[in-house]
Structure 1
Amino acid sequence: MKKLTLLLYLGLAIPFAGHTQHNTTDIEVVKRVADYAVAHAAFTFKGNNNQTYNTSKEIPEGVTANISDHLSEWHYPNGVLNIAMVDLGNYLKEEKYNAFAQRHVAFAFDNYAYFEALSRKGVKYKNFPFNQLINTRVLDDCGAMGASLLDVYNTVKRGDYRAYIDKAANHISKVQERLPDGTLCRPNPYKWTLWGDDLYMSVPFLARMGKLTNNNNYFDDAVAQVKHFTHYLWDPRTELYVHYYYEDLKRQGVAHWGRANGWIMLAKVQLLNNLPASHPGRNEVIADLTQQILGVAKYQGPNGLFHQVLDRTDSYTETSCTAMFVYSIARAVNEGWLDKRYITIAERGWDGLVKEKIQEDGQLKDVCIGTNTSADLSFYYNRPTELNDFHGIGPVIEAGIEIARYRAKK
């Protein structure tokens, strides 16, 4: 008691579970992360002559130009970030966050034709701008960015946006490779490989497309993909998903990789966000989501965080998967899909992120970089992390929104 009195006398803060750093509110932490992205996405090009160009029209002949920063590029994590920014703007009624997503999409559509013309001439170089927009080959190229474009299209009704949305829908529904039972898969690294990541790279888009067009075929396909991915990737022994399934070997992968499990959980939540209440598959998706939440909860660390390899505590604690689980669980509680007693899993995860992973300037620590599949577990252990890698920014924003929603109701 004397020690406690002394600490109070000296003005030293005593940590308390549920408090964010420096007593800032949850939404202030979220805005710190989002505002860092807003401030550091330049939406410009950098030439090999070290000059900066605001539009592709300014790039001189013979100059090789790249997009100036990762936050301005056209890759699936940018789509995740755009969706989060729209959600944050809508939640806070602050237009600058919606404007970020709108500006990102416009930057691509106003400039990609220049690089598409170069591509037709055979010009290619490292980090070629808008390559995934120009050449759609796998779900990474169009699924997440397409979903974010659908969110922007709700406000900005440009014809070229709708044309791309229809093109992405055609690719996912009719072009992308599938197993004989209709499960989406990839031609690499082996024919055919089922990636856990691809549930997110397809289902959120399909769900939004169903809502846009009132075509139940999109909803039916999205629900079927959830069922199929669980069939191939769920490991009942650990109650986790493996990262991949090799169709040629009829064999699951070795790693219960954190972010793959996060992508899968996120996809189910985004499907439920858009799936009509009357859809016959809705309760099945909720049951599948609940099963996954109860499974992953067993692997949460004492600091609230989850590991890079979920069932291996000697792997590092990883930011993006933790945020994905926090968002999904808190969202499920907020929407009434999951009993509120499970909110403590999300709250402890969020408080762990705030305490250990979110810096004062809004940058994120310990985000695993983009990751391929591998047959050896050590590959996943040794995947590097990068400060503020863009795989983590969108999920952290989404997690904070849902935690703030829940705590605002308490």
Structure 2
Amino acid sequence: MKRNFFYALFSLGVCLTLGNSASAQQVDAKLPWSVRITESEMIRWPESWQLDFQPKLKWDYCHGLELQAMLDVYDTYGDQKIADYAIAYADTMIHDDGSITAYKLSEQSLDRVNSGKMLFRIYEQTKNEKYKKALDLLYSQFAVQPRNADGGFWHKKIYPNQMWLDGLYMGAPFYAEYAFRNTRPNDYADVINQFITSARHTYDPKNGLYRHACDVSRTERWADPVTGQSKHSWGRAMGWYAMALVDALDFIPKHEAGRDSVLAILNNVAVQVKRLQDPKTGGWYQVLDKSGEKGNYLESSCSAMFVYSMFKAVRMGYIDKSYLDVALKGYKGFLENFIQVDKNGLVTITRACAVAGLGGKVYRSGDYEYYINETIRDNDPKAVGPFIMACLEFERLQK
């Protein structure tokens, strides 16, 4: 309840601060959805460091998620103000020596790696060496990231022995792209092992889903005493995993040993995504293994992630083309059920879970009641970024 109060209070302050400037600016309804959402976010948050409702500078995964999507929009439609908006964040956060404001290597948190992905393109475009130094700094984290005996990365140093599906998206695509761009072929086996190991630890044979996380030491209160798994399959955790699979596969060579195992995992994810798609709305539930049950709700971030992942996986030939129907139904349903447009054309994405985790100082039990009672908010980057990418996939189809 206290967390909900502070979210509401902060959101009210943001609305009062930005309300006049946002309402004065228009978004053209004739533009593609990817551009309309991007421009809406740029109006809501005039400075890119303000994304994710931030009152101060922060280096974390949400900025990278959304700004990476915006760079995809720029690459597709070529509006320089979009590129400038993304580059402004990188320029604000990264110093000449490659150090990054609010990033501490000693934290060994995979969440801090994700925003590095956009730096590959920014370095290519600007040729500013500070971005290359920052990329090298983030890559160096993998050498010191704590691991379990089977090589699986801990999600964070403060979460010993734990693999979270979230962490696969935060680390693996960056790791694979860095290996590809810097000719480090030995790294591919490690990237592949992260996917295989996380699948082995989180797979639930009773329903074919992957649970949110696993504590291999089986000591956390949220962990099953036999399997170490958390209690449920959280929609966004599966969404992170799906996006990690399709994005990392871009950089893993086709001949690489173990790549077929990664594709097999992706194909199983696709099977489950299709099976659990809500027949009426095309969306997916906050807690996947309790889909349709009392208190559960259709959630926008996991829905956006699944739509994007299915579109891309079909386009790349990773899964059967019949899954395009799943993506199209999800895309149409998203527009109908999660999108609101105000009189000035500003686009709002509704009903996103603000945050969900396991353990921690304010202990999160990971039971059903926990997941369905976390804060729900509009325009969460974890819904906005993936849906921009889903829109771009749909728009590519139209061309």
TM over 0.5: yes
> Does 2:264 align with 1:287?
yes
Seen in structure 2, the aligned counterparts of structure 1 residues 283 and 45 have a Cα distance that, compared at 3 Å, is closer
CA distance, structure 2, for counterparts of residue 382 and residue 111 of structure 1: 43
CA distance, structure 1, for counterparts of residue 388 and residue 57 of structure 2: 17
Most deviating of 345-354 and 214-223: 214-223
Seen in structure 2, the aligned counterparts of structure 1 residues 347 and 266 have a Cα distance that, compared at 3 Å, is same
> Does 2:60 align with 1:75?
yes
Q: Structure 1, residues 153-176: CA drift from partner, whole Å, max 9, x if none?
A: 22222222111211111112x111
Most deviating of 335-344 and 188-197: 188-197
Q: Structure 1, residues 32-75: CA drift from partner, whole Å, max 9, x if none?
A: 111112223333899xxxxxxxxxxxxxxxxxxxx984697422
Query: 2:201: which partner in 1?
Result: 232
2:59 alignment partner AA:
W
1:31 alignment partner AA:
V
Question: Counterparts of 1:244-259 in structure 2 under 5 Å?
Answer: 244-249=213-218, 250-259=227-236
Aligned counterpart for 2:35 among listed residues 20, 31, 37:
31
Seen in structure 2, the aligned counterparts of structure 1 residues 203 and 301 have a Cα distance that, compared at 3 Å, is same
2:309 alignment partner AA:
S
Report the alpha carbon displacement of residue 309 of structure 1 after superposing the two structures with TM: 0.4
Seen in structure 2, the aligned counterparts of structure 1 residues 328 and 141 have a Cα distance that, compared at 3 Å, is closer
Query: 1:323: which partner in 2?
Result: 304
Most deviating of 279-288 and 190-199: 279-288
Other structure's SS at 1:214 match: coil
> Does 2:281 align with 1:300?
no
1:383 alignment partner AA:
E
Fraction of identical pairs, as percent: 28
Larger Rg: 1
Other structure's SS at 1:359 match: strand
Most deviating of 216-225 and 348-357: 216-225
Aligned counterpart for 2:287 among listed residues 309, 318, 333:
309
> Does 2:80 align with 1:95?
yes
Report the alpha carbon displacement of residue 264 of structure 1 after superposing the two structures with TM: 0.6
Query: 1:153: which partner in 2?
Result: 123
Seen in structure 2, the aligned counterparts of structure 1 residues 33 and 187 have a Cα distance that, compared at 3 Å, is closer
Question: Counterparts of 1:10-409 in structure 2 under 5 Å?
Answer: 28-43=32-47, 69=54, 73-109=58-94, 130-131=101-102, 133-134=103-104, 136-172=106-142, 174-186=143-155, 190-249=159-218, 250-302=227-279, 303-312=281-290, 313-314=292-293, 315-360=296-341, 361-373=346-358, 374-408=365-399
CA distance, structure 2, for counterparts of residue 110 and residue 68 of structure 1: 23
For these two proteins, the number of residue pairs brought into alignment is: 349
CA distance, structure 1, for counterparts of residue 46 and residue 166 of structure 2: 28
Q: What is the CA RMSD across the aligned residues, in angstroms?
A: 2.7
Q: Which runs of 5+ in 1 are unaligned?
A: 1-23, 47-66, 117-128
Give TM-score scaled by structure 1 length.
Answer: 0.79
Query: 2:12: which partner in 1?
Result: none
Q: Structure 1, residues 221-256: CA drift from partner, whole Å, max 9, x if none?
A: 111111111111111221111001112214111111
CA distance, structure 1, for counterparts of residue 369 and residue 53 of structure 2: 33
Give TM-score scaled by structure 2 length.
Answer: 0.81
Most deviating of 278-287 and 363-372: 278-287
Report the alpha carbon displacement of residue 375 of structure 1 after superposing the two structures with TM: 3.8
